[in-house]
Structure 1
Amino acid sequence: MKKVAFIFPGQGSQAVGMGKALYDYSNDVQAAFQQADTLLNTPLSSFIFEGPEATLTKTEHAQPALLLVSSLLVRQLKEHGVNPSMVAGHSLGEYSALVAAGALSMDDALKLVQTRGRLMEQAVPTGQGAMAAILGLDAKSIQEVTESITKQGEVVEVANFNCPGQIVISGTKMGVEQACVQLKEKGAKRAIALNVSGPFHSSLMKPASREFQVALEQVTFHDAEVPVYANVTAEPVQEKAVIPNLLIEQLYSPVRFEEILQRMMEQDLDAIVEVGNGKVLSGLVRKVNRRMKTFAIQDPESLQTFMDWYKED
């Protein structure tokens, strides 16, 4: 049996029309989409399949939409006899990973991420926060600049360690703009503003984390069946008692995705499989280790391609 890890995309990977081929493929999937609409009291399926893009991109819609598509793809994989040896997700994707590992039910996760998305949008008024991807500069240089600007009164912090040469910063609009100018002067190849609604994974999200703790207390967690690599620590966890606190910290802490990938690759994997819309994380895997076998499963066709490989002797 081949040894595979599942990884799950986060916000930004959503696209109008995602999951439609999966929806058309199975009556069970259609029923699950309809149940999600009822559970969340919102026409999520319509936003996913028809848009408009601006509505789907809203954090409180994008997060459950991505989780729903990823979790239903996992369901298909498990029905084909594929179970991961370990899982991880990028930011929001950590919830999809917890569902895949049996630590959270899909229904509970959908409600949680809808609440999470709403609180994240409310934490900082629209237009006052920003994020940017910094390409081609080392983490130490980036942290020196962000710490210097923050000391002067404008918050800007490292939000995502994605892969070698790609680090995301987050903070006030002014802080991020100042950092982008200074980082390019320091040698960054590019500084790309991200199309997000807030300064995620920065200390500006702490107000959201306090309210989110209340939502987490209403949910039943289970011990994970396989290791889940946590965004906050880049360490594998399985104990239900520690998972909620990691999810609270995740809101205002950096995503240590490069470390997560490195640690997964130390476990003798045959492949890392991105489960959900897009191929963003597969690209990060290749930047960490070009020799690592990767798959991106987002529809029945890509599922079949993976299964053909999985069944080979």
Structure 2
Amino acid sequence: MSTGVIFPGQGSQYVGMGKDFYDSYQAAKAIFEKADSALGFSLSDIIFNGPEETLTLTYNAQPALLTTSIAIFEIIKDKIYNITGYAGHSLGEYTAVVAAGGMAFEDAVKAVHNRGKFMQEAVPVGAGGMLAVIGAKRDSILQMCEDISKETQSILEPANFNSSAQTVLAGNMQAIEMALEKYRGYGIKRAIKLPVSAPFHCSLMKPAAENMQNYLKDVNVNDLNTPVYSNVDAKKEKNSETVRENFVKQIASPVLWEDLISNMIEDGTKSFIEVGAGSVLTGLMKKIDRKINCINISGIGDLGKLEDLNV
């Protein structure tokens, strides 16, 4: 059975993630130790002991999630048969590229640590935000973004097309606040302001994209063994230079998650495994295609699910 492996992005982190794998498997412990060594500080201490507000900082959360996912993947990769594609939500695309043989883990963990710094520095804290809108057609959401951007002379743009039921918007805070007042007029059922420190995946992130482009020039990226489906255009990719370009583009572009998963299914993927903290992507899968089987491996107690999936 053809299997897709998917990796979570920022927001899935929690204190203590991956600790049971660290304690039980030398191969998993080695990944956490490599991260600490590459970064020059104890990321694993922040992951296992917190405090939560330190782990949640963008430049800690991103390498923490990548490290946890790769540590778990090291333990289960030989138990997954016929992996036909990888994908990761936002920063999870770096995890996917590591899993597909395109980047050394140490290079990736340093890259996403810097990515987090660049993204946080792009917009002053409090000047931008993000908003999840539930139960609306894509056309209505785009119309609202256009109208509010004009009215406030600022930016409101789609940041994540997660499923037909959920889209995330990003922009200047005045535009976010107006959207919270006006969303019902566009047939949107609910709007929820997200607890994030910056407006990710919109044009306000262009300075971060430029910094990332400069940073990645000196980072080795190889052609992939197995394709990774890109956040930017939802297409599968193996070419190293395109992978590098997509890393840059994705910072200021919306995450086309629903389209990406639909393309994986269309290409014959029959089941999915979410590897890493939590089960956010597994939840989204149910909204994208209920018929597709998806499991999450977040803790040691989840390992039995691999047998149930018949991978």
Normalised by the length of structure 2, the TM-score is 0.96
Question: Within the alignment, does 1:310 sit opposite 2:299 as a pair?
Answer: no
Aligned to 1:207: 207
The letter of the residue matching 2:229 is Y
Residues 148-180 of structure 1, C-alpha deviations (whole Å, 9 max, x = no match): 222231211010100012000000111111122
Q: Distance in 1 between matches of 2:207 and 2:242?
A: 21
Aligned to 1:280: 280
Residues 258-282 of structure 1, C-alpha deviations (whole Å, 9 max, x = no match): 0011111112323111111111101
Q: Distance in 2 between matches of 1:262 and 1:38?
A: 38
> 1:130-279 to 2 correspondence within 5 Å?
130-152=129-151, 153-279=153-279
**In structure 1, the residue corresponding to 2:162 is in which secondary structure?**
strand
Aligned to 2:46: 47
Shift of 1:301: 2.2
Aligned to 1:94: 93
Q: Distance in 1 between matches of 2:46 and 2:86?
A: 28
**In structure 2, the residue corresponding to 1:39 is in which secondary structure?**
helix
Check whether the contact 1:77–1:83 (CA below 8 A) recurs between aligned residues.
no
Q: Distance in 2 between matches of 1:212 and 1:198?
A: 16
Check whether the contact 1:233–1:256 (CA below 8 A) recurs between aligned residues.
yes
Once structures 1 and 2 are overlaid, which stretch shifts more, 82-91 or 190-199? 82-91
Aligned to 1:20: 19
Check whether the contact 1:276–1:297 (CA below 8 A) recurs between aligned residues.
yes
Shift of 1:81: 5.4
Q: Distance in 2 between matches of 1:173 and 1:82?
A: 46
The letter of the residue matching 1:108 is D
Residues 2-60 of structure 1, C-alpha deviations (whole Å, 9 max, x = no match): 21100110000000011011111112322321221121112211111111000000000
**In structure 2, the residue corresponding to 1:130 is in which secondary structure?**
strand
The structure-2 alpha-carbon separation of the partners of 1:148 and 1:81, relative to structure 1 and needing over 3 Å to count, comes to: closer
Residues 220-262 of structure 1, C-alpha deviations (whole Å, 9 max, x = no match): 1111111111000001111012111111110000000000111
Aligned to 1:127: 126
Shift of 1:73: 1.6
**In structure 1, the residue corresponding to 2:191 is in which secondary structure?**
strand
Shift of 1:206: 0.3
**In structure 2, the residue corresponding to 1:158 is in which secondary structure?**
strand
The letter of the residue matching 1:5 is G
* Aligned sequence identity (%): 42
* Gapped regions of structure 2 (runs ≥ 5): none
**In structure 2, the residue corresponding to 1:147 is in which secondary structure?**
helix
The letter of the residue matching 1:215 is Y
Check whether the contact 2:156–2:169 (CA below 8 A) recurs between aligned residues.
yes
Check whether the contact 2:28–2:75 (CA below 8 A) recurs between aligned residues.
no
Aligned to 1:69: 68
Residues 111-150 of structure 1, C-alpha deviations (whole Å, 9 max, x = no match): 1000000010111011111001000111111111111222
* Gapped regions of structure 1 (runs ≥ 5): none
The letter of the residue matching 2:51 is P
Q: Distance in 2 between matches of 1:126 and 1:91?
A: 20
The letter of the residue matching 2:59 is E
**In structure 1, the residue corresponding to 2:303 is in which secondary structure?**
helix
Task: Give structure 1 regions of 4+ aligned residues with deviation exceeding 6 angstroms.
Answer: none
Check whether the contact 1:7–1:89 (CA below 8 A) recurs between aligned residues.
yes
Work out the number of aligned pairs and report it.
Answer: 310
Q: Distance in 1 between matches of 2:27 and 2:79?
A: 15
**In structure 1, the residue corresponding to 2:220 is in which secondary structure?**
coil
Check whether the contact 2:27–2:75 (CA below 8 A) recurs between aligned residues.
no
Shift of 1:97: 0.7
Check whether the contact 1:237–1:243 (CA below 8 A) recurs between aligned residues.
yes
